[in-house]
């Protein structure tokens, strides 16, 4: 897909997500729908969708170990074994997984391959490239902190971990700024970090040709949603302001199954809420599923023990009806792709008779 | 059939518990909302410096403005009616838009020409002398710890 088409399409959808609550609440005053029905629906879709997703993944057999490693396999005692990069047991797998989930190790390993001419000699060099990792880690941890910070709206005696996070996050007290009252009571570092990181991740998608080429609307859309959430959140906290006591009455009511919408909450809050609801309802159908999927990545969670443990394909020597859809014979494969194969000039076993008659006619 | 079912289900349960934590936390306790109480004096006065909705949403900005005016500019009196009337058109439009999106109210013009001495301790706390029943109600509900009281003396209460 042309990147402009994808970009414009996802931007239009994001603008619709912006306008729906604006009109729905600002003009039509549909408080119950946007304040109660939509959030409950979104939470339900998210929870059920994620559970079905994970169960669906769990039902897929992974008969082979996929060790894609960057380290030396365990073999002889005199060859140094890289136990994290190429684990032979679950201890290594756990460490590798923890590094991946908490530190984004595979992004950290990212380098840029560069072709250069030095003194007129061609040279291939691996360049330092940590920007993606840095933006990703800033973004994900900011998002986590912001998510946890929001628990102050969801719970009533506010748990102490939320208070600690809030205090650490808000230790900037900018005091006097050109716009009076802008930074009252304090500026959250994660708010700024998140917006900066998401903006970088979006610009990177648009700027680097290779990344732009592989980007689809499903890549842009979540970024737009998160940008929308971040922007409306920042607007609400620093510029436009809403009556947070009433906002908490609404949010806390939802979690106590005492749903009601107090009067006097501005439209901006419902725009923020609708962005959030759209995002969480969209998660099970989108790439953001990686929050669960990362734990099920076969290249990260399988130890490389093929050489000393036998893994048997579950449908080997089993009748095909026990594993429907798992056995795909070459005949079936060719049946499915014959036209494309002929078009690409790949030899096929069974030539369709019609095509042979038609082809010369077309050439004439 | 689930492959590695025990591990996957454990992970799934942990994940779901994390996301439904707000539903589970303190479950069974009833819904509560803060009930800030006005003192007799505040009830008698009838109006605050600006409208009630404005004060609910923006009092911290107003206090910050007051602090800057008093400490940095040496201005000590606040005339809300004059300010609202003398507001230039562009600022009025901007403010109206801001109000419309933030709380759906209009720019408030106070009914009387009352002039306020800009002081948290002498003016605000004169009416709202019940910090525990007034300020703290919402502040504690939201986990907000304003640093007013780092310098100012909180009113003495029984």
Instruction: Indicate whether B108 pLDDT > 80.
Output: no
Closest Cα of chain A to B114: distance in Å? 23
| pLDDT score at A255 | 92
What is the CATH T-level fold of the domain A3-70+109-296, as seen in this structure?
Fumarate Reductase Cytochrome B subunit (1.20.950)
- Residues A243, B56: C-beta atoms closer than 8 Å: yes
Query: Which has the minimum average pLDDT: A120-134, A212-226, A315-329, B25-39?
Result: A315-329
Q: Per the omega criterion (within 30 degrees of 0), is the bond before B141 cis?
A: no
Instruction: Indicate whether A274 pLDDT > 60.
Output: yes
Strands B116-117 and A121-128: unpaired
H or E segment to which residue A127 belongs: strand A121-128
pLDDT interval class at A26 (50, 70, 90): confident
Closest Cα of chain B to A258: distance in Å? 7
pLDDT in tens, A80-120: 999 998 898 889 999 999 999 999 998 998 888 888 888 88
B103, B138, B150: which to substitute to probe chain A, counting the most A Cβ within 10 Å?
A: B103
Strands A121-128 and A111-118: antiparallel
pLDDT in tens, A159-199: 999 999 998 998 877 666 666 666 677 889 999 999 999 99
Which stretches within chain A are classed as H helix? 3-26, 31-32, 38-58, 90-103, 105-108, 131-149, 151-154, 160-169, 189-207, 209-214, 217-234, 244-255, 267-282, 290-293, 298-301, 330-343, 353-363
Query: How far is the C-alpha of B37 from the C-alpha of B131, rounded, in Å?
Result: 10
Query: How far is the C-alpha of A10 from the C-alpha of A206, rounded, in Å?
Result: 14
pLDDT interval class at A271 (50, 70, 90): very high
| pLDDT score at B14 | 95
A88 vs A63: which has the higher pLDDT: A88
- Are the C-beta atoms of residues A283 and A289 closer than 8 Å to each other? yes
What is the residue whose two structure tokens read 């969670």?
A: A301
Give A20-48 as a DSSP string. Answer: HHHHHHHTT--HHIIIIIHHHHHHHHHHH
Q: What is the mean pLDDT of residues B7-11?
A: 93
- Residue A175 gets the label, from left (phi > 0), alpha (psi -120 to 50) or beta, of left
Instruction: Give the domain ranges of chain A.
Output: 3-70+109-296, 330-363
pLDDT in tens, A127-149: 888 999 999 999 999 999 999 99
CA terminus-to-terminus distance, chain B: 66
Tokens matching residue A334: 């060719």
Question: How many CB atoms are located within 10 Å of the residue A185 CB?
Answer: 13
pLDDT interval class at B28 (50, 70, 90): confident
Query: How far is the C-alpha of B155 from the C-alpha of B121, rounded, in Å?
Result: 8
Among the partner-chain residues B5, B11, B143, the one whose CB lies closest to the CB of A162 is B143
B57, B63, B135: which to substitute to probe chain A, counting the most A Cβ within 10 Å?
A: B57
């Amino acid at each position: 897909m042309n990147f402009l088409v994808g970009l414009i399409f996802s931007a239009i959808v994001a603008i619709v997500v912006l306008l729906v609550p604006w009109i729905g609440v600002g003009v039509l005053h549909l408080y119950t729908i946007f304040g109660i029905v939509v959030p409950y629906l979104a939470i339900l879709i998210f929870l059920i969708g994620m559970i079905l997703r994970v169960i669906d993944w769990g039902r897929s057999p992974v008969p082979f170990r996929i060790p894609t490693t960057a380290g030396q396999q365990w073999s002889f005692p005199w060859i140094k074994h890289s136990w994290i990069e190429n684990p032979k047991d679950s201890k290594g797998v756990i460490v590798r997984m923890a590094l991946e989930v908490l530190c984004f190790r595979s992004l950290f390993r990212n380098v840029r391959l560069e072709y250069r001419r030095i003194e007129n000699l061609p040279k291939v060099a691996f360049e330092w490239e940590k920007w993606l990792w840095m933006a990703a880690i800033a973004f994900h941890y900011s998002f986590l902190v912001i998510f946890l910070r929001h628990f102050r709206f969801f719970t009533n005696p506010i748990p102490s971990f939320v208070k600690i996070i809030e205090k650490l996050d808000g230790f900037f007290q900018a005091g006097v700024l050109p716009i009076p009252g802008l930074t009252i009571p304090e500026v959250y570092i994660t708010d700024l970090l998140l917006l900066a990181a998401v903006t970088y991740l979006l610009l990177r998608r648009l700027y680097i040709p290779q990344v732009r080429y592989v980007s689809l609307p499903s890549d842009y859309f979540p970024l737009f949603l998160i940008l929308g959430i971040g922007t409306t959140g920042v607007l609400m906290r620093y510029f436009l302001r809403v009556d947070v006591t009433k906002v908490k009455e609404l949010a806390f009511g939802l979690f106590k199954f005492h749903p009601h919408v107090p009067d006097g909450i501005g439209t901006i809050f419902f725009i923020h809420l609708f962005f959030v609801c759209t995002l969480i309802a969209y998660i099970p159908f989108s790439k953001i599923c990686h929050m669960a999927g990362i734990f099920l990545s076969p290249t990260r969670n399988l130890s490389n023990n093929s050489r000393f443990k036998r893994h048997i394909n579950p449908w080997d020597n089993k009748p095909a009806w026990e594993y429907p859809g798992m056995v795909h014979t070459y005949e079936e494969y060719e049946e499915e792709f014959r036209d494309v194969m002929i078009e690409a000039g790949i030899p096929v076993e069974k030539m369709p008779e019609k095509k042979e008659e038609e082809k010369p006619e077309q050439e004439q | 059939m689930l492959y590695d079912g025990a591990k996957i289900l454990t992970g799934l349960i942990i994940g779901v518990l994390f996301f439904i934590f707000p539903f589970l936390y303190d479950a069974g306790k009833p819904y509560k909302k803060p009930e800030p109480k006005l003192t007799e004096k505040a009830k008698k006065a009838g109006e605050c410096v600006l409208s009630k909705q404005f004060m609910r949403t923006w009092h911290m900005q107003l206090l910050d403005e007051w602090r800057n005016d008093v400490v940095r500019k040496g201005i000590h009196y606040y005339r809300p009616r004059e300010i609202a009337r003398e507001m230039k058109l562009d600022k009025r439009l901007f403010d109206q838009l801001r109000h419309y999106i933030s709380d759906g109210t209009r720019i408030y013009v106070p009914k009387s020409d009352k002039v306020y001495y800009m002081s948290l301790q002498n003016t605000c706390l004169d009416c709202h002398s019940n910090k525990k029943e007034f300020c703290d109600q919402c502040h504690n509900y939201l986990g907000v710890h304003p640093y007013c009281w780092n310098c100012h003396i909180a009113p003495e209460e029984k």
